[in-house]
Structure 1
Amino acid sequence: MIQSMTGFGKATAAYKTKKINVEIKSLNSKNLDLSTRIAPLYREKEMEIRQYIAKSLERGKIDFSIWIEKDAATDATPINSALVQNYYQQIKKISAETGIPEPTDWYSTLLRLPDVTTKTDVEELTDEEWAVAKNAICEAIGHLSDFRKQEGAALQKKFTEKVDNIQALLASIELYEKARVEKIRQNIVNGLQQIPNVDYDKNRLEQELIYYIEKLDISEEKQRLANHLKYFRETMNEEGHGVGKKLGFIAQEMGREINTTGSKSNQAEMQNIVVKMKDELEQIKEQVLNAL
């Protein structure tokens, strides 16, 4: 079944005092174009994240983000009280020895001194936290995949409609095709009759007509186009990878047969039908770029 390359997924997970947020969105692209914004704590896992996304989503222009929200009460930078007391004692001693007045606003003075409000602890990623974060990543990717399937179902419905239209237009050519052969023959005979004092070999004329009509025959083009339409339908229902690319190649082959049919038509009604088929095919080509 067809999947779209367009999608969005989001997930959140709680770990102790943290809220882990994951977002991932995808647009169409010929190949995998992955950009990531990863919280510093999880950057050591970037290669693992990239490999998992590439395996799960195959291709598309993908933006991935993972970030952490912390409880303000627990995330506040602690004040080093021992260091504050030490600074306080040093300032009082210097003031007594030198006669320099003590600060009038002790808090603002002390809090501006080095390392009083600097975090010294280095946060490390534990296996337990990474397991929670990884589950959130998997959940977000799962939501995006579900979105892609929904969009893919809409694409398949659209493709089926357009293929049906081309099939109907192809069938309508037959009526004009039969009349065209007789019209070509009659035009040539009428043209010869209007030339005075010209005697022509009717057998040779028939041979030339057969040759000329064979050059304008579109039976093979019609058969190949019908086969391409059938193959397009079958491919839409295939399970596996690269369905979108295959549909694109089939659409190109359909275009070749429609163009050749148009160049051989030599009749206004048939050419009008060809223009309509081109219009339907163009809409397929536009949308097939979104198919995975």
Structure 2
Amino acid sequence: MTIRSMTGFGRAKGSLGEEWTAEVIARSVNHRFLDVTVKVRENEIDLEPVLRRVFSRHVARGKVEVALRLKRSTPAPTVIAIDEGLLEALLARFALLAEHYPVSGRLEARDLLTIPQIFSVETSGNGFTPDDLAALEAIAREAALALVAMRETEGALVSADLTERIEFLEKRLHRLSLRRGEIAGKALETLRERLRPLLSEPGLDPGRLEQEAALAVDRSDVAEELQRLEGHLEQFASLLSSSDEPVGKKLDFLAQEILRELNTLGSKGRDLQMIREVLEMKSETEKIREQVQNLE
């Protein structure tokens, strides 16, 4: 599966039978989970499940906003309804008032138009046929594929950048691994120098001091951290090169683990060059974390 970013845009347009023209527009940004929002008008609510189903099928993670723009290709047939019962009651009431009060004249059509309850104009043919729904699904699929294509294009750029940064960390890790024995030897020698003044103190066993110094150096050894770092970097590179599912969350977790091991290395480090190397690696790992948070 190609590495995908969570940022993208897709658009598609087509016809729904002979009456409608539909345009589907989709935008996506970063999000921890999949969140699909579909914007349709009230009389198009039957189309919302179709759009949601299509985009949920093609996108695994991110906040996706889908908008539907639906226009009629032909004028909609209209029906004018008249409430004849209300009209008859109104006329009868007017005639009754004319008998008892000085009310003269007659009601004109323009007078009746001022009473909104008498007339209603309705548009017929608002229902969507199964063929319309199938056509909309095809348009939505085209828009979803365009969105995915843009996410894959950006994902490829992010993947290339991450690959370079992982290679940088691997080179630095290799240098630290080669110097592990040297670093441990320097640490032991430094500790011996600090303990040397104590050797002349009465009651202190030189052998015991040497043993404690060796134990202190052993506790500061970074072999395990270096080994775990190597494993994390190998797994990270493997996920970037080949994966059958979205890897954004896995890469984010690995980046956190890499940073945790580097923090441990920094806390154990007494060698100035090692500390500098670790600081550079931590800075690079922070950049990696920023990048992977944009991956699906």
**Residue 102 and residue 192 in structure 1: after superposition, are their counterparts in 2 closer, same or farther (change >3 A)?**
closer
Asked if residue 125 in structure 1 is aligned to residue 128 in structure 2, the reply is: yes
- The amino acid across from 1:126 in the alignment is T
Q: Kindly provide the CA deviation profile for residues 168-191 of structure 1, in whole angstroms up to 9, marking residues without a partner as x.
A: 221232465444333333333333
Distance (Å, rounded) in 1 between the aligned partners of 2:124 and 2:115: 19
SS in 1 for 2:124: coil
SS in 1 for 2:75: helix
Aligned equivalent of 1:230: 234
Q: Kindly provide the CA deviation profile for residues 162-219 of structure 1, in whole angstroms up to 9, marking residues without a partner as x.
A: 1111112212324654443333333333334445843765544442232111111111
Gaps of 5+ in 2: 96-102
8 A contact 1:28–1:289 mirrored in 2: yes
Could you tell me how far 1:222 is from its partner in structure 2? 0.7
8 A contact 1:11–1:140 mirrored in 2: yes
When structure 1 is superposed on structure 2, of 1-10 and 191-200 the one drifting more is 191-200
Aligned equivalent of 2:57: 55
Aligned residues: 281
1:26 to 25, 28, 49: 28
8 A contact 2:10–2:145 mirrored in 1: yes
**Residue 210 and residue 17 in structure 1: after superposition, are their counterparts in 2 closer, same or farther (change >3 A)?**
same
**Residue 6 and residue 143 in structure 1: after superposition, are their counterparts in 2 closer, same or farther (change >3 A)?**
same
Asked if residue 4 in structure 1 is aligned to residue 5 in structure 2, the reply is: yes
Asked if residue 43 in structure 1 is aligned to residue 40 in structure 2, the reply is: no
**Residue 196 and residue 224 in structure 1: after superposition, are their counterparts in 2 closer, same or farther (change >3 A)?**
closer
8 A contact 2:54–2:144 mirrored in 1: no
Could you tell me how far 1:79 is from its partner in structure 2? 7.6
8 A contact 1:27–1:62 mirrored in 2: yes
8 A contact 2:54–2:137 mirrored in 1: no
**Residue 170 and residue 18 in structure 1: after superposition, are their counterparts in 2 closer, same or farther (change >3 A)?**
same
Distance (Å, rounded) in 1 between the aligned partners of 2:134 and 2:163: 43
- The amino acid across from 1:125 in the alignment is F
Aligned equivalent of 2:15: 14
Distance (Å, rounded) in 1 between the aligned partners of 2:238 and 2:199: 59
2:264 to 260, 264, 275: 260
- The amino acid across from 1:180 in the alignment is I
Could you tell me how far 1:101 is from its partner in structure 2? 8.7
8 A contact 2:248–2:294 mirrored in 1: yes
Could you tell me how far 1:247 is from its partner in structure 2? 1.2
8 A contact 1:77–1:117 mirrored in 2: no
Could you tell me how far 1:132 is from its partner in structure 2? 1.8
Please report the RMSD computed on the Cα atoms of aligned residues, expressed in angstroms.
3.3
8 A contact 1:10–1:23 mirrored in 2: yes
**Residue 196 and residue 54 in structure 1: after superposition, are their counterparts in 2 closer, same or farther (change >3 A)?**
closer
Distance (Å, rounded) in 2 between the aligned partners of 1:236 and 1:196: 55
**Residue 123 and residue 210 in structure 1: after superposition, are their counterparts in 2 closer, same or farther (change >3 A)?**
same
**Residue 165 and residue 120 in structure 1: after superposition, are their counterparts in 2 closer, same or farther (change >3 A)?**
closer
**Residue 120 and residue 47 in structure 1: after superposition, are their counterparts in 2 closer, same or farther (change >3 A)?**
closer
Gaps of 5+ in 1: none
8 A contact 1:12–1:20 mirrored in 2: yes
Percent identity (aligned):
29
TM-score of the superposed pair, with normalisation by structure 2: 0.80
**Residue 259 and residue 121 in structure 1: after superposition, are their counterparts in 2 closer, same or farther (change >3 A)?**
same
**Residue 126 and residue 206 in structure 1: after superposition, are their counterparts in 2 closer, same or farther (change >3 A)?**
same
TM-score of the superposed pair, with normalisation by structure 1: 0.81
8 A contact 1:9–1:23 mirrored in 2: yes
Could you tell me how far 1:23 is from its partner in structure 2? 0.9
2:66 to 49, 64, 67: 64
1:273 to 243, 266, 277: 277
Asked if residue 171 in structure 1 is aligned to residue 174 in structure 2, the reply is: yes
**Residue 119 and residue 197 in structure 1: after superposition, are their counterparts in 2 closer, same or farther (change >3 A)?**
closer
Distance (Å, rounded) in 1 between the aligned partners of 2:135 and 2:31: 31
Distance (Å, rounded) in 2 between the aligned partners of 1:41 and 1:139: 24
Distance (Å, rounded) in 1 between the aligned partners of 2:196 and 2:225: 34
